[in-house]
Chain A
């Protein structure tokens, strides 16, 4: 097979560039939203009210055991009357993109909540006593004593989840996403639709993802390591 370099000619090259930008955007949005959701779920899991705590556990159990593709299919094609309600809504471009972000975030947030919880377990119990003696309330103890430490402990795993988010962005392929908001694989599929050859665009998409994953995980690892060394110093 002679590898066609046509993938790097216009307009395909700019499609791929747009795809890379969208992949990074989806990754950033999903990571931010899943951190937020995961944070709330992990807070809920520590409060004294048993019902709220069970709600947090149920959330984690539900979303950890669902394949992202199936969750996305349910959100996009399953939620009733969705297509009728998009006209005149805040999302005139269709709900596919926001629902993609929502679906991927729901999936990841369950893992984030677990990571934060196991990070909270690593906080020495003496810290809580010290916070109480200093007069901190339960919420400020959580926010200024427990979470900063839990975050540092969980940083490597959270970085992993971020790389996972980037990989999961390819799940957008099962959705009818508009051409402008397609990520790398979607754009590769668009090229294949024009040229009737999948091999070259796919190999390029795989290479892009591989490079992004390697770069992202090495950067995140470095950040995690420097945060870890700060813990060592502070102890």
Chain B
């Protein structure tokens, strides 16, 4: 293999044998490999994880929402505890063990055979979801009560307050942290090699096995690709932080 071929394989992976593809599940993700799969698992995990995060944040709620009466308050408190328990459990388990659990548990528990790549997306959905949930919660808490009150007084409806007041303000404080979660998820997808998902690090080991001569080149390329993507994303996060956090402050004081 030449250097160019090694690079190309790292980017798209080896084509999987056709008998490995389970027709009951999306095929595009099962045919992928290399960096392509790494980025797909990262972005799908973040996309679905956003909904999980919103759900967890809503269930936990703020102090304001906890004030209800009787059964409603009890139910809200119970849901909040469930959300907290879920979050702390997933945060306390190392991602390596979590990925292995999502890979090995579905069959003995439910008797279904799900492709490893689909389970990888599920694992990173939950993983990203709990971290995003915490960010959403603190982000929405950062919106000052006075701003919401004045918006309500001005006659804005609840959904208008949410989408035109709360969300834009919260998003500015949350964006750098959300990008931080994205970088973490991107870096942590490298543990998927232990469950045989053909992501970039697994592909690198495959190339190494096929062609032991170029082992240093393969690993150096692997290292460099992971590093450069994470580095560029972290520069972006710093840039957004300096640009938007100042902006948000200005807006808060003006209104």
Closest to A166 in B: B94
Pair A61/B231 contact, Cβ less than 8 Å:
yes
Pair B219/A73 contact, Cβ less than 8 Å:
yes
B109 on the A face (CB < 8 A):
yes
A167 on the B face (CB < 8 A):
yes
Closest to A65 in B: B230
Pair B234/A64 contact, Cβ less than 8 Å:
yes
User: In the complex, A80 Cα to B220 Cα: how many Å?
Assistant: 12
- Among B50-58, B115-123, B131-139, B187-195, the one that faces the other chain is B187-195
- Among A85-93, A142-150, A151-159, A206-214, the one that faces the other chain is A206-214
B9 on the A face (CB < 8 A):
no
Chain B residues 32 to 88 lying within 8 A of chain A, measured CB to CB, are 88
Give the interface residue-count category, chain B: 35 or more
Pair A170/B201 contact, Cβ less than 8 Å:
no
Quote the shortest CB–CB distance from B95 to chain A (angstroms): 7
Quote the shortest CB–CB distance from A186 to chain B (angstroms): 10
Identify which of A74, A169, A197 contacts B222 (C-beta below 8 A). Answer: A74
Task: Give the chain B neighbours of A202 by CB distance below 8 A.
Answer: 97, 100-101, 104-105
User: In the complex, A67 Cα to B234 Cα: how many Å?
Assistant: 14
A sample of 12 more A-B contacts (CB under 8 A), given A65-B234, A66-B223, is A67-B187, A67-B188, A70-B201, A70-B226, A78-B215, A80-B216, A169-B94, A197-B108, A198-B100, A199-B108, A202-B97, A209-B93
Closest to B107 in A: A199
Closest to B191 in A: A69
Quote the shortest CB–CB distance from B60 to chain A (angstroms): 19
User: In the complex, A167 Cα to B184 Cα: how many Å?
Assistant: 14
B205 on the A face (CB < 8 A):
yes
Chain A residues 130 to 177 lying within 8 A of chain B, measured CB to CB, are 166-171, 173-174
Task: Give the chain A neighbours of B220 by CB distance below 8 A.
Answer: 74, 78
